[in-house]
Amino acid sequence: MYIDYSKLKFPLLIRPWREGDRFIPLGMKQFKKLSDYFIDDKFSLIRKKKACVLISNNDIVCVLGERLDDRFKLVEDSKKVYIVKL
């Protein structure tokens, strides 16, 4: 995943998702609960239990290996890129 470095606040944290977590999936304009995202994308129970999120300043940057939050996407003005590899 390619993230706009200037939008990140360090330190970053990786943690399991929690009930009530929400983010703005890439390409969308409104918040969505992670539990609803998992249902819509047909996550299996095992895949859902293994899901982790990358956190910056209490905001979800991405669901690791799945989807980036729209607020952290690269834009034309992006000067520095933060790359997340699994």
Spell out the domain ranges in the chain. Answer: 2-83
- Tabulate helix, strand, coil % of the chain (nearest 5): 20, 35, 45
The per-residue pLDDT for 63 is 97
The mean pLDDT value for 5-31 works out to 97
Cα–Cα dist 78/21, whole Å: 27
CATH number given to 2-83: 3.50.40.10
Mean pLDDT of 22-47: 97
Q: What is the separation, in whole angstroms, between the first and last Cα of the chain?
A: 9
Separation of alpha carbons 51 and 41, rounded Å: 13
Q: Which residues contact 35 (CB under 8 A, 6 or more apart)?
A: 19, 21
What backbone phi and psi angles, to 5 degrees, belong to 16? Answer: -65, 150
Model confidence pLDDT, tens digit, residues 43-85:
999 999 999 999 999 999 999 999 999 999 999 999 999 999 9
Q: Is the pLDDT of residue 86 over 90?
A: no
